[in-house]
Amino acid sequence: MKLVFKTPAKINLGLFILGKRPDGYHDLETLFQMVSLYDTLELESIDDRIELLCDHPEVPADDSNLMVRAARLLQDAFPEKAGLGCRMVLNKRIPMGAGLGGGSGNAAGVLRGLNRLWDLGLETAALMKFAAQLGSDVPFFLCAPSALGEGRGERLTPLQSPKKFWVILIFPKVSVATAEVYRALNLDLTKNPKNIKILREFFSQSNIASLGAHLHNDLEPIVIKILPVIERIKKKLYSLHADGALLSGSGSAVFGIFEDSKGAEQAYARCREEEGWETFLTETVTHFSEFMPADLLDVP
């Protein structure tokens, strides 16, 4: 048996760091949104072994890869099922080290796909518990196309997706380590009058102009100091009439949001002229059915 499906990227429309936790992580509030940039994943049953093949030379195929770890988690959780193994083939389109959650989405896809391939019978809530063991962003990709994330990001509240809007993603082909960004974080300087409640209200109203005006990421000033090109990308997007522009997660991708499709297409064409940028025109995802076969889902 073989399964082929897509896994999406995400952006953080808001990211507010509330404080540091005893376990070394940070408490945060974030507004996650899936967008229509996808990797393609193929899963095939084989005996016992976990194999990963990828067309991107920088993707590791060992246990440092979240996909491999996701497969081993499920394998170890069902020792009574003999011969559980899989070959995973990943076609990588989401840039690595961009803050777009490509690796986390891949891992979530493995959990969902192997649940079907290996006939494990797990509901989404159970899969999300496995996902939380893999990384803070992984549960989101099993939850909903739009969600409020709290705690480390793993405590999720699904949100009703607003009307679709268009998102330009720009990756400057340089990355910054997430650990480096958080080490430089000064919590005394992250207090901001903007907050997740305001952002969530405009989001629920599909008020894209006001949503754009209230985008906020506490990590962005740190990343701009490390990678000044982030500021140049934002200025470019605003000059092309984006409703808002922001660093996604800990970077280094920047996104611009557009209510108008024609404006987004024109801005995309202009951004593609810039050398050294990898640019994508996407739209928001409003339902899993836009990229996931129905037989892999146990929720509407």
Q: Would you say the C-alpha torsion 25, 28, 32, 37 has a positive or negative sign? A: negative
Nearest CA to 178 among 69, 281, 54, 28? Answer: 28
Q: Is the pLDDT of residue 19 over 70?
A: yes
Confidence of residue 300 (pLDDT cuts 50, 70, 90): very low
Q: Taking residues 78-101, what's their average pLDDT? A: 94
In the chain the domains, ranked by start, together with CATH numbers, are 2-159 (3.30.230.10), 166-283 (3.30.70.890)
Q: What is the Cα–Cα distance from 2 to 200, expressed in whole angstroms?
A: 39
User: The tokens 């404080």 sit on which residue?
Assistant: 19
Confidence of residue 26 (pLDDT cuts 50, 70, 90): confident
Question: Regarding predicted confidence, which is higher, 59 or 154?
Answer: 59
This prediction's pTM: 0.94
Q: What is the Cα–Cα distance from 104 to 177, expressed in whole angstroms?
A: 16
3-state secondary structure the chain: CEEEEEEEEEEEEEEEEEEECCCCCEEEEEEEEEEEEEEEEEEEECCCCEEEEECCCCCCCCCCCHHHHHHHHHHHHCCCCCCCCEEEEEECCCCCCCCCCHHHHHHHHHHHHHHHHCCCCCCHHHHHHHHHCCCCCCCHHHHCCEEEEEECCCEEEECCCCCCCEEEEEECCCCCCHHHHHHCCCHHHCCCCCCHHHHHHHHHCCCHHHHHHCCEECCHHHHHHHCCHHHHHHHHHHHCCCCEEEECCCCCCEEEEECCHHHHHHHHHHHCCCCCCEEEEEEECCCHHHCCCHHHCCCC
* 8 A C-beta contact, residue 249 and residue 101: yes
* 8 A C-beta contact, residue 218 and residue 181: no
Average pLDDT, the chain: 93
Contacts of 117 (CB under 8 A, 6+ apart): 1, 3, 43, 44, 45, 86
Active-site residues, by number, are: 10, 137
* pLDDT recorded at residue 173: 95
Confidence of residue 295 (pLDDT cuts 50, 70, 90): confident
Q: Taking residues 60-84, what's their average pLDDT? A: 94
* pLDDT recorded at residue 299: 43
User: The tokens 């760091």 sit on which residue?
Assistant: 17
Tokens representing residue 32 in the block: 């996650």
Q: What is the Cα–Cα distance from 60 to 37, expressed in whole angstroms?
A: 21
